[in-house]
Amino acid sequence: MAERLPANGPARHELPVIDDLGLLAARHGDRLLAEARERGLTRWVTYLEPLPDRLRDDGLPGLRSASMRARAAYGPKDSLRDALPPELTEPFLDAVDRLLRELNREANRVRT
């Protein structure tokens, strides 16, 4: 299970790598959301709608939660990949995975 980041830890802007990765994931999320809206995929619009703002603005605990929710959109039975083109889904997935790895590194750094 992933380590939790303390709520009283550093502010997001104090960790520029994490902040930049969150902003990158948010930009990719904006593109996915726009394409889902254009295609009329209301289920995916509803799922994706809160994610870009959360990836852009949430503190570290909320950022982890938003990242995990974004990652869950790539499930084995029901995946964002089945609804939207790979040139949009894969960069988002890559950005979210990179963000989660960095969040895990920070959680481990704080813990030790």
Tell whether the model's pLDDT for residue 49 goes beyond 60: yes
Is residue 82 very low, low, confident or very high in pLDDT (cuts 50, 70, 90)?
very high
What's the pLDDT at 73? 96
Is residue 8 very low, low, confident or very high in pLDDT (cuts 50, 70, 90)?
low
Instruction: Tell me the mean pLDDT in the region 83-96.
Output: 98
Q: Tell me the whole-structure pTM to 2 decimals.
A: 0.88
Contacts of 99 (CB under 8 A, 6+ apart): 18, 21, 22, 24, 25, 55, 63, 67
Calpha distance 109→50 (Å, rounded):
29
Q: Closest Cα partner for 73 from 90, 61, 60, 53? A: 90
Is residue 92 very low, low, confident or very high in pLDDT (cuts 50, 70, 90)?
very high
Straight-line distance from the first to the last Cα atom of the chain, in angstroms, rounded to the nearest whole number: 17
Calpha distance 19→17 (Å, rounded):
5
Please state, in angstroms and as integers, the Cα–Cα distance from residue 18 to each residue in 47, 79, 80, following that order. 23, 26, 24
